[in-house]
Amino acid sequence: MLKIKIFTINFLISFIIVLLSVTVIAAPDLSLIYVIQQGDTLSEIAAEYDVDINKLKAANNISNKANIKMGDELIIPQEKSEKSKNKKKLLFKEFNSTREELSFTINTHYAARINPGHQAPDIDKIPEDKIINYYVGPGDTLYDLARDFSTTIGTILALNNRENSFLRSGERIRLPINNLTSHQILNQRVSKQELDLLARAVYGESRGEPYAGQVAVAAVIINRVLSHQFPDTFAEVIYQGGQFSAVSDGQINLSPNQTAYRAAREALNGSDPTNGALYFYNPKTATRVSFFKGRRVVTKIGDHVFVE
């Protein structure tokens, strides 16, 4: 009888040990993934989640010399402390917007993407005339677009009603321009045909000039497009009567070289060696020099004088 009792007790102890082992093995593997925001540092993220910074680096294969970028995702290592457990409970409680009890499938990997301290972007305040359609180019990322358009990744995702960061080359997405300068907006909206026309004007007017002088000619044309004193399109500015000799003598129709295209792109990107000049002329060949004598000379590059 005693043997049976001992056997029964041993069996129960063994059963409990096995049960606990199964419970441990069956626990879901939960991962916390943090999406890096502008201005974040590794030390701040480690402190926020009570994680050792070296463990954070090791979990994400980050070397001491590596830099983190906005939009990248960091795996937050799981800590065993009570403080970390409480953070996870709060996280998943907040993550479940319906406030229903969360249930996890056994042996499944879960990831919660969070944005602590930041509210959802209010896209209703962005006027429709401050949103453009943009066609994704090769190599474009949400991080690059957010930087180029002076906005946030969250705003871009909200404007396009999407949750993932995957972009396909050639697809059309909506991007805000309310935080851009007029020059930046022009650069984002310029078409291939307008770029070709600008490069032809640069080539026809200044192909024998130093490269800086070719950028300066492109900048003058751009300054006119942006000025209320002139038409607001490249075609109207360039073909305006009596303004550019390249139009008068037909050189506007020559095929531009790569240097002219490079100068046009550099000026579109914001380079302006003339500091806002609206006119340029060659004193050796100009027929209306008197028109320029009353204007302030900004700079001289090669054979061209640039004036306001």
| Confidence category of residue 260, pLDDT binned at 50, 70, 90 | very high
Mean pLDDT score of the chain, rounded to an integer?
77
Residue 198 · residue 204 · CB < 8 Å: no
Is the pLDDT at 179 greater than 70? The verdict is yes
Q: What is the pTM (predicted TM-score) of this model? A: 0.56
Beta pairing, strands 172-176 & 297-301 = unpaired
Which of 65-79, 88-102, 203-217 is predicted with the least confidence, judged by mean pLDDT?
88-102
Say which residues have a Cβ less than 8 Å from residue 99's Cβ, sequence separation at least 6.
93
* pLDDT value, residue 218: 96
Q: For 207-246, what is each residue's pLDDT tens digit?
A: 999 999 999 999 999 999 999 999 989 999 999 988 999 9
For the chain, how big is the Rg over CA atoms in Å? Answer: 31
The stretch 3-18 carries a mean pLDDT of 52
Q: Which residue in the block uniquely carries the two structure tokens 């590794």? A: 42
Please give the full DSSP string across 98-152, using - where no structure is assigned: T-PPP---TT-EEEEEE-TT-PPP-GGGS-GGGEEEEEPPTT--HHHHHHHTT--
Q: For 20-56, what is each residue's pLDDT tens digit?
A: 444 444 444 445 777 776 566 777 778 777 888 888 8
Dist. CA 274–CA 270, nearest whole Å: 11
Higher pLDDT, 164 or 28: 164
Higher pLDDT, 74 or 2: 74
| Confidence category of residue 80, pLDDT binned at 50, 70, 90 | low
* pLDDT value, residue 14: 57
Residue 246 · residue 201 · CB < 8 Å: yes
What is the Cβ-side half-sphere exposure of residue 31, based on CA atoms within 13 angstroms? 13
Is the pLDDT at 140 greater than 70? The verdict is yes
Question: Nearest-CA neighbor of 162 among 149, 150, 180, 175?
Answer: 175
Q: What percent of the chain has pLDDT over 70?
A: 72
Runs of H (alpha helix) within the chain: 2-26, 42-48, 53-59, 82-95, 142-148, 153-159, 182-189, 192-206, 211-226, 234-238, 245-248, 258-268, 289-293
Higher pLDDT, 239 or 19: 239
| Confidence category of residue 137, pLDDT binned at 50, 70, 90 | confident
Give how far Cα 182 sits from Cα of 72, 150, 202, Å: 30, 13, 22
Is the pLDDT at 18 greater than 90? The verdict is no
| Confidence category of residue 85, pLDDT binned at 50, 70, 90 | very low
* pLDDT value, residue 105: 41
* pLDDT value, residue 79: 57
Q: With H, G, I as helix, E, B as strand and everything else as coil, classify residue 73.
A: strand
Neighbours of 167 (CB within 10 A): 19
